[in-house]
Amino acid sequence: MDNNKRIVVIGAGLGGLSAAISLATEGFQVDVLEKNDKVGGKLNLLQKNGFSFDLGPSILTMPHVFEALFERAGRKMADYVTLQSVEPHWRNFFADGTTVDLGSDTERMRGQLDKLGPNTAQEFGQFLAYSKKLCEATEQGYFAHGLDSFWELLRYYGPLRSLQAFDVFRSMDQGVRRFIKDPKLVDILNYFIKYVGSSPYDAPALMNLLPYIQFGYGLWYIKGGMYGMAQGLQKLAEELGVNIQVNTEVAEIQHQSGRASGVRVSDDRVFAADIIVSNMEVIPAYKNLLSHQDSEIRRLEKFAPSCSGLVLHLGVDCLYEQLAHHNFFYSEQPREHFNAVFHSHRLSDDPTIYLVAPVKSDLSLAPPGCEIIKILPHIPHIDPNQPLQAEDYEALRERVLLKLERMGLTDLRKHIVCEESWTPLDIQARYYSNQGSIYGVVADRFKNLGFKNAQRSAVLKNLYFVGGSVNPGGGMPMVTLSGQLVRDKILADLAN
């Protein structure tokens, strides 16, 4: 096999960095071209007024996926990043004053669940066994072999086992309600869908593997901030000889006779390539980098964008002792909230709010006596037929802050001393994500059975994709895994 081929990776998000490392480890020459001023993609960093804000992902799970990158390169991940476990995993706040912690301590967890009823802990145990089966079946084939479609799933597992192993005919919510009676715990387990930016009422029951991923592999923080993973991967890539160029925007994928030949960047330099790996999402790549792809874009419409978010990064001059590192403040009408985001494409009147307070794990991120409050309610992706205005997002910001004050964060607005906010328009402009989505492709059993785009391009034989818009999907471990799976596909294609 000829491993002297030159590979160009478009974008230095985690998927692009993972692909670059995986391919450099096999001896390929790799250039990574990144339009922004630093690597990491949505795993981004802002330092302002003494506060250090992680702009992107806040939770790391499945550390073995990241460790595999380092191990295959003959390194130890611990020499590049330091992980620390987060306990409790989440703190859940409800409008009636109930709080419930999720965590790895079995006895403490039982005590928390007993608040919700005498049988709730037993029901949760049964649900978690179900979640584990879904996870194990998925890891065996879909993750390990990079299965890219429902037909590949059927060929690998067989029709009968596919139906049984993946609870095909239920939604995520229906899967939860098979085991769980308490409505608060239903809401908690349904909201694991946050990892993939979808609705539990539309997503396939397979998404119920997400709780076991968290409970089975733990929930982790990177000491010094989540951006440390991007820095660790950059260091490893450069040690392997990967050429990373930031502030270098790809403007065009050049091609002839059904094969890519290279990329042209915005200053008209051309990078020749035998193989191209795009960390830009699939549909934006076809729209922006390849001309005359209207029929292919229409074919891919079932891979609709996930939700977006109104992302508020607040530095406050006090500490809220009732918060854990990760917190959820639930809507009193969760179905209406999800319908607003995913069906009517409007801003929810009463959103469920994800709130991160990373100072609980790392005092170095803020000045003494201060707190970082990162707030993320899910909102619709950009809908050109129903555009939202700046005043709409500002009204939602006010609703969210008022809700948090009602639910215990006293005088939050008065304590804000530093603020940065992002709307879907900002996210689209910074990362070229499809319609400002955060998590790539929505998981919807009626649109796409929960599958994402294939990693191999159907247009150019030597063009591949990584990141949240392709299988296995969004989230730090999944996009990192996509970089390893694209290596396997490239090696297999070259061998044939």
Q: Has residue 371 been placed in a domain?
A: yes
Instruction: Look at the alpha carbons of 210, 216, 220, 226 in this order and tell me if their dihedral is positive or negative.
Output: negative
Residue 1 located in a structural domain: no
**Residue 280 shares a structural domain with residue 358:** no
From 198, 220, 242, give the residue that closes a domain. Answer: 220
Choose the final residue of a domain: 164, 199, 220: 220
CA-based nearest residue to 311, from 53, 15, 31: 53
Structurally, the chain folds into a number of domains equal to 3
In eight-state DSSP terms, residue 38 is S
Which DSSP state fits 371? E
pLDDT tens string, the chain, 496 residues long: the values are: 567 899 999 999 999 999 999 999 999 999 999 999 999 999 999 999 999 999 999 999 999 999 999 999 999 999 999 999 999 999 999 999 999 999 999 999 999 999 999 999 999 999 999 999 999 999 999 999 999 988 898 899 998 788 788 999 999 999 999 999 999 999 999 999 999 999 999 999 999 999 999 999 999 999 999 999 999 999 999 999 999 999 999 999 999 999 999 999 999 999 999 999 999 999 999 999 998 899 999 999 999 999 999 999 999 999 999 999 999 999 999 999 999 999 999 999 999 999 999 999 999 999 999 999 999 999 999 999 999 999 999 999 999 999 999 999 999 999 999 999 999 999 999 999 999 999 999 999 999 999 999 999 999 999 999 999 999 999 999 999 999 999 999 999 999 8
Please list the residues that pair with 26 across neighbouring strands. none
Q: Residue 336 domain-assigned? A: yes
**Within a domain: residue 440?**
no
Q: How far is CA 401 from its chain centroid? A: 24
**Tokens standing for residue 418:** 């530093």
Q: Clarify whether residues 214 and 121 are in a common domain.
A: yes
- Residue 203 has what pLDDT? 98
Q: How far is CA 204 from the centre of its chain?
A: 17
Residue 437, in any domain of the structure: no
Backbone angles phi, psi at 97, to 5 degrees: 100, -10
Do 286 and 326 have their domain in common?
no
Same structural domain, 129 and 109: yes
Q: How far is CA 435 from the centre of its chain?
A: 16
What DSSP letter does each residue of 404-450 carry, written as one string?
HHHTT-TTGGGGEEEEEEE-HHHHHHHH--GGG-SSSB---TTTTTT
Residue that is last in its domain, among 220, 235, 258? 220
Q: What is the pLDDT of residue 379?
A: 98
pLDDT of residue 160: 78
- Are 297 and 312 in the same domain? no
Contact 281, 432 (CB under 8 A): yes
Q: Is residue 478 situated within a structural domain?
A: yes
d(CA 84, CA 362): 10
Q: Are residue 296 and residue 309 in the same domain, yes or no?
A: no
Domain annotation covers residue 442: no
Residues 363 and 378 in one domain: yes
The verdict on 113 and 164 lying in the same domain is yes
> Are residues 314 and 275 part of one domain?
no
Residues 135 and 116 in one domain: yes
pLDDT for 1 equals 56
Cβ neighbors of 284 (< 8 A, separation 6 or more) are: 432, 433, 434
Give the residue ranges of DSSP H helices in 225-266: 228-239
pTM of the model: 0.96
Question: Which of 404, 314, 326, 325 lies closest to 366 in space, CA to CA?
Answer: 314
Q: Is residue 117 domain-shared with residue 144, that is, in the same domain?
A: yes
Same domain (yes/no): 295, 310: no
- Which CATH number do you get for residue 32? 3.50.50.60
Cα(342)–Cα(490) distance, integer angstroms: 35
Domain boundaries, position 183: 93-220
* 379, containing H or E segment: strand 371-379
456 falls within a domain: yes
